[in-house]
């Protein structure tokens, strides 16, 4: 990579020191060779991955197959060895693909009065994880369960004292800590896993509910209603579940805030008062006085196969130990029913940037010379459908997890330009942060925690699939403090992307992008991983973190 002059100076200094002390050289990490690629190469790959040719890279579509083949071809051209199954670059991932048909309906009523008739666009979005072609729910009583949380460690059970079997649970997005801001309750403004919509639907299934509905609110969700309607309509993917989805509710969905307020009014409640009271430790669930749900879900269901793409570099001394790089290659595909002329969700930032970066880093590993440990570069599928590709990899890894030293996840690098800071999502988790700090401080840079922990990004990208198995994972990104234009410029840039382009057709590649920051982030994460690959130590989670005991047990079995 044509990394910055700072790296070139560092390399020159390292080479000079090497010449002065050959005896020491034999016992130290090999000096990094001069860079061999350019930001133009990163941009070339981003532009191709985000092109209309791949039609938004939905996992099992023709465009998705073409995109994954392109990634494999780029890995081969970069000199990476195939690390998939049967000597290929691919790890097949079995998926179900389900599309709710227009004949479906969902109605919320009180007596003979219809409060909401869902249109799958402006007022409600719904689907099912079950594989039945037709599902019916009749006269299902609505029960409000606050945040839908069962969290013994926080002394919270939103289902306590009420039986929701066969009923429809209604709940808020995020968790009680967001509303209170109290750092001693949950994690204050920082979302916990209990705040994730995925958890809420899973818990509703465990409770035996017939349906589960989340009330959308922009601030605690961290995205607008258009992200909901754009992300969870059309074909929806899932891993092939042994029970065919029977453990999930028949219907899962979101309802627009304005319509939720009407529902609560029909139940004799004021939504604003109820939502405020829901954050209290004394919250109690309640039946929504006569409001019921009726639904018919008709869907087309297919089983399909997508694929993770994996290439690697074999280590020279400890080839059975691995440094992992991960990025998701998929996006939301094409939707002919979308409003406007642009029907393709190209996913340039999310995540053609990360995919291009791991290929570039892999190429740098090859050109710098194989390190002592091996490195594996995995572009995973179906992240946008619930981190499915990484979850599949975590259950059936291409290399043993207890031989995976650490992982670096790259997801959605904004083209802000060079910044003075790097953002670590889930800051305070592992010793990888100390390693990163050692890499960036000589550049005059510093680490900042995720500025929007309430958005729950720590639980919204693929690193969490491996973290839950104990593998120390770093999710780092370029920061917001632009070297020339300052912090406000970067913050405004990020805000504009989230509002106008995130999970929208507007996430497209632009030749005017300043790729210098993406290049710098790629450089830093290369140096971090290359250093890990030339060490013999094993990084771990910090003491007291939720994944430390899992890792300790795993390493005891390696």
Residue 557 is predicted with a pLDDT of 61
Contact 351, 411 (CB under 8 A): yes
Q: Are 109 and 247 in contact (CB under 8 A)?
A: no
What is the signed CA dihedral for 475, 478, 481, 484, rounded to 10 degrees?
Answer: 170
How far is residue 397 from each of residues 64, 85, 160, measured CA to CA in Å?
22, 11, 38
Q: Token pair for residue 7?
A: 């790296």
The reply to whether omega before 206 is within 30° of 0 (cis) is: no
What integer pLDDT is reported at residue 193 of this predicted model?
Answer: 87
Integer Cα distance of 248 and 207 in angstroms: 9
Residue 330: name the closest of 290, 389, 285, 410 by CA: 389
Q: What is the pLDDT of residue 558?
A: 55
- Residue 85 confidence (pLDDT): 96
Q: Which residues of the chain are under the pLDDT cut of 70? A: 1-37, 557-558
CATH topology match: 36-79+314-556 vs 98-301: no
The CATH architecture of the domain made up of 98-301 is: 3-Layer(bba) Sandwich (3.50)
Q: What is the DSSP secondary structure assignment for residue 82, as one 8-state letter?
A: E
pLDDT score at 118: 95
DSSP 32: P
Q: Which of these, 67, 73, 68, lies nearest to 53 by C-alpha position?
A: 67
Torsion of CA 44, 48, 51, 54, to 10 degrees: -170
Q: What is the pLDDT of residue 32?
A: 52
Domain at 36-79+314-556: CATH code: 3.40.630.10
What DSSP state is assigned to residue 430?
B
Q: Express each pLDDT in 30-59 by its tens digit.
A: 455 555 458 999 999 999 999 999 999 999
d(CA 262, CA 478): 42
Q: What residue ranges do the domains of the chain occupy?
A: 36-79+314-556, 98-301
Q: Count the Cβ atoms, other than its own, within 10 Å of residue 310.
A: 28
* Whether residue 351 has a cis bond before it, omega within 30° of 0: yes
Phi, psi of 170 (to 5 degrees): -115, 135
What does each C-alpha distance from 5 to 11, 34, 92, 535 come to in angstroms?
10, 11, 41, 25
**Residue 82 pLDDT:** 98
């Amino acid at each position: 990579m044509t990394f910055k002059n700072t790296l070139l100076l560092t390399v020159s200094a390292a080479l000079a020191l090497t010449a002065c002390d050959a005896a020491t050289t034999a016992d130290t990490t090999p000096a990094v060779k001069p860079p061999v690629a350019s930001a133009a190469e990163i941009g070339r790959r981003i532009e191709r991955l985000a092109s209309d040719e791949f039609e938004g890279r939905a996992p099992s579509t023709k465009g998705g197959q073409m995109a994954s083949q392109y990634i494999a071809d780029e890995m081969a051209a970069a000199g990476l060895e195939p690390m998939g199954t049967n000597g290929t670059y691919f790890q097949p991932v079995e998926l179900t693909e389900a599309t709710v048909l227009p004949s479906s309906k969902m109605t919320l009523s009180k007596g003979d009065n219809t409060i909401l008739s869902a249109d799958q666009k402006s007022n409600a979005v719904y689907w099912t994880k079950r594989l039945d072609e037709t599902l019916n729910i009749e006269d299902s009583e609505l029960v409000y369960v606050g945040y839908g949380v069962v969290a013994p460690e926080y002394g919270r059970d939103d289902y306590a004292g009420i039986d929701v079997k066969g009923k429809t649970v209604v709940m808020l997005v995020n968790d009680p800590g967001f509303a209170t801001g109290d750092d001693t309750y949950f994690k204050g403004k920082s979302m916990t896993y209990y705040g994730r919509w995925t958890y809420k639907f899973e818990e509703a299934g465990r409770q035996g509910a017939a349906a589960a509905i989340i009330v959308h609110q922009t601030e605690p969700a961290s995205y607008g209603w258009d992200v909901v309607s754009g992300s969870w309509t059309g074909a929806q993917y899932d891993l092939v579940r042994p029970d065919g989805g029977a453990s999930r509710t028949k219907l899962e969905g979101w309802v627009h805030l304005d319509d939720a307020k009407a529902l609560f009014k029909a139940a004799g409640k004021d939504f604003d008062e109820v939502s405020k009271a829901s954050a209290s430790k004394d919250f109690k669930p309640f039946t929504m006085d006569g409001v019921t749900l009726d639904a018919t879900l008709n869907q087309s269901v297919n089983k399909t196969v997508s694929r993770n793409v994996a290439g690697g570099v074999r280590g020279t001394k400890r080839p059975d130990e691995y440094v992992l790089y991960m990025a998701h290659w998929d996006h939301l595909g094409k939707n002919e029913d979308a409003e406007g002329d642009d029907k393709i969700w190209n996913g340039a930032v999310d995540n053609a940037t990360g995919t291009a970066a791991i290929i570039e880093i892999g190429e740098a590993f090859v050109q710098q010379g194989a390190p002592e440990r091996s490195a594996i570069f995995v572009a995973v599928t179906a992240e946008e459908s619930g981190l499915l590709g990484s979850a599949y990899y975590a259950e059936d890894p291409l290399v043993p997890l207890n031989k995976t030293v650490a992982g670096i996840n790259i997801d959605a690098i904004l083209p802000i330009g060079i910044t003075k800071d790097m953002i670590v999502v889930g800051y305070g988790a592992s010793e990888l942060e100390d390693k990163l700090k050692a890499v960036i401080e000589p550049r005059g840079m510093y680490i900042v925690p995720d500025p929007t922990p309430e958005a729950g990004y720590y639980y919204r990208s693929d690193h969490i699939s491996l973290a839950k198995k104990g593998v120390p994972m770093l999710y780092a990104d370029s920061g917001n403090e632009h070297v020339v234009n300052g912090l406000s410029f970067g913050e405004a840039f990020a805000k504009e992307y989230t509002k106008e382009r995130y999970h929208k057709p507007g996430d497209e590649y632009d030749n005017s992008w300043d790729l210098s920051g993406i290049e710098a982030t790629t450089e830093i994460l290369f140096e971090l991983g290359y250093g890990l690959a030339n060490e013999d130590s094993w990084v771990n989670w910090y003491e007291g973190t939720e994944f430390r005991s899992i890792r300790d047990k795993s390493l005891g079995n390696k």
